[in-house]
Amino acid sequence: MRTPIADDVLARILTAAHHAGSVGFMQPWDFVVIRQRATKRAVKQLFQKTNAQAAMHYEGARATLYRSLKLEGIVEAPINIGVTCSRQRGGRHVLGRSTVRDTDVYSTCCAIQNLWLAARAEGIGVGWVSILDHGTLKQVLGIPRPVKVLAYLCLGYVSAFATQPDLETAGWRARIPVDQLIHYEAWGNTIPADRRNGDAPHEGLHENRGDGK
Amino acid sequence: MRTPIADDVLARILTAAHHAGSVGFMQPWDFVVIRQRATKRAVKQLFQKTNAQAAMHYEGARATLYRSLKLEGIVEAPINIGVTCSRQRGGRHVLGRSTVRDTDVYSTCCAIQNLWLAARAEGIGVGWVSILDHGTLKQVLGIPRPVKVLAYLCLGYVSAFATQPDLETAGWRARIPVDQLIHYEAWGNTIPADRRNGDAPHEGLHENRGDGK
């Protein structure tokens, strides 16, 4: 975990992130690369404060399990990266953003997933620490007010990659069968039309229904 | 573009999406797979209405360029996929979501980027159509009110993958040099500490500064 990450490796990872698609080719992301121990320690303090509050949401065995989970590697990881989204980049009218304002945020998340996969290809594990107060984090990293923090990532070489998520292994939550998440033509049709006996294909407009899940 | 996408190929693509990491292992995504022409036509109409409004933001040569751009392939693409985020999945206290509520949205975007790359590996291009009114789109697809639509994707085999984004080729916007987007230790330090002559390393707390960009 503590093995240093070389500059050329980091450059490949950030270049992969920067080559994510973005709505209107807006490229709204920035990357704050943290290597210094003092900065990591300041962020770790933020985590500890917020996590103490988060842990209080659980009781009994669930609380014990929660406290046993490894939820961050801020100080141990050789590199931390804060990923931001500059919401005003590209000016007032960004192509493709007139109806869905948050497409800049969505694009930045796509860049984060590219970063994640590029790191994995280098043998580097990435942890996303979301148990942080982003307002205070922005002060620590000197991030200007209009810029939104999306993610705080810890990067480090790992001895092995697990075959399933840690939270699944720990029994915190189970994976949902993918079939339950695929709908055909309209929400709620989880069996393809060609396998539904005598059921007419679902076409055209539908009313909103139910409560979701 | 119109070549059908086989069920097993689609299954691989959606399985890759479903294996994105998610905060608290929440897996908040669903996928509405659209193959029927009637549904696509209804969505295309939504696009046309919204795009006519969006085009009015541009004037002169920029307006002409805007109208020349290919911004969707809804009807031509054999498969469209609506990707949603169920904000209540996982109950009231999702691990890692106590401070940053939108981590469910961020996780869903990571799944979308996985989908995008998995499709690319199959020789399938993906277009993200954001010029849509999501409220009306939810009616067309029968999506329940509490469920958020994040993306409407068009998938199809393509004859070639371009080496740069279409908007870059068209001269709509240039790629930002990645060096301008990387900050060291704190926002604004775009030169690494070891290359800054006589400049003290930046440590500890910083005030928020400036307007971002």
ipTM of the complex: 0.90
Distance to chain B for A173, nearest Cα, Å = 7
Q: For testing the chain A interface, which of B187, B190, B196, B203 should be mutated: the one with the most A CBs within 10 Å?
A: B187
DSSP B181: G
Instruction: Tell if the CB–CB gap between A98 and B54 is shorter than 8 Å.
Output: yes
Counting residues of chain B whose pLDDT is more than 90, the rounded percentage is 85
CATH superfamily of A7-169: NADH Oxidase (3.40.109.10)
Helix (H) or strand (E) holding B148: strand B147-157
Nearest Cβ partner for A25 among B88, B147, B172: B172
- On whether the CB atoms of residues B29 and B179 are closer than 8 A, the answer is no
CA A53 to chain centre: 21
Chain-centroid distance of CA B199 in Å reads 39
The Cα of A136 is separated from the nearest Cα of chain B by a number of Å equal to 10
Tens of pLDDT, residue by residue over B20-44, are 999 999 999 999 999 999 999 999 9
Which structure tokens are listed for A190? 């989880």
Closest CA to A156 of A31, A5, A6: A5
Residue B213 pLDDT exceeds 60: no
State residue A205's pLDDT score.
40
CA atoms within 13 A on the CB side of A41: 5
User: What is d(CA B17, CA B122) in angstroms, rounded to the nearest whole number?
Assistant: 14
- pLDDT of amino acid A196: 66
Q: What is the pLDDT of residue B196?
A: 66
Q: Are B130 and A23 in contact (CB under 8 A)?
A: yes
In angstroms, the CA A150 to CA A131 distance is 12
Instruction: Please give the average per-residue pLDDT across A17-39, as a whole number.
Output: 97
Other beta carbons within 10 Å of A213: 11
Indicate the residue of A95, A102, A144 with minimum beta-carbon distance to B172: A95
* Domain ranges, ordered by start, for chain A: 7-169, 176-213
- DSSP designation for A193: G
Is 0.80 topped by the overall pTM? yes
pLDDT tens-digit profile of B173-190? 999 999 999 999 999 999
Q: Are A183 and B30 in contact (CB under 8 A)?
A: yes
Compare CB distances from A113 to B20, B57, B202 and report the shortest one's residue: B20
Say yes or no for a CB contact (<8 Å) between B213 and A128: no
User: Quick check: helix, strand or coil at residue B153?
Assistant: strand
